[in-house]
Amino acid sequence: MAESTINTFDDITERLDEIIATVRSKETSLERSLDLFDEAIKLGSRAVDMVDTFELSPREADELAQQMDDDASADTGDAETTADEVGE
């Protein structure tokens, strides 16, 4: 995948997967592995920048908050069950 075609987070993760597979190959030279490592670092930086600048829509923010509340409630319920079981 050419660097100019890497525009989305999914493109970055796909390319990183390709890099990992190539570096793991016994056929890949040390020099090529180091070049791929440099590319992976750049891609990782781009991914971090994308995440840092990503903004949720109000609807997405509400859905995420609701999901986090649901997860917290489920975790609390599990802890109470465990405490009850220990007390028996």
Looking at the predicted structure, is the pLDDT value of residue 65 above 70? yes
For residue 36, what are the contacts with CB-CB under 8 A and spacing of at least 6? 19, 22, 23, 28
Looking at the predicted structure, is the pLDDT value of residue 5 above 90? no
pLDDT given for residue 51 in this prediction: 87
Are the C-beta atoms of residues 12 and 46 closer than 8 Å to each other?
Answer: yes
The mean predicted confidence, pLDDT, of the chain is 85
Looking at the predicted structure, is the pLDDT value of residue 4 above 80? no
Q: Which of 52, 69, 50, 61 shows the shortest CA–CA distance to 8? A: 50
Range of the domain at 79: 3-87
Are the C-beta atoms of residues 14 and 1 closer than 8 Å to each other?
Answer: yes
Q: Structural domain tally of the chain?
A: 1
Give the model confidence (pLDDT) of 24-49 as tens digits.
999 999 999 999 999 999 999 999 99
For residues 29 and 46, give the distance between their C-alpha atoms in angstroms, rounded to a whole number.
Answer: 26
pLDDT given for residue 77 in this prediction: 61
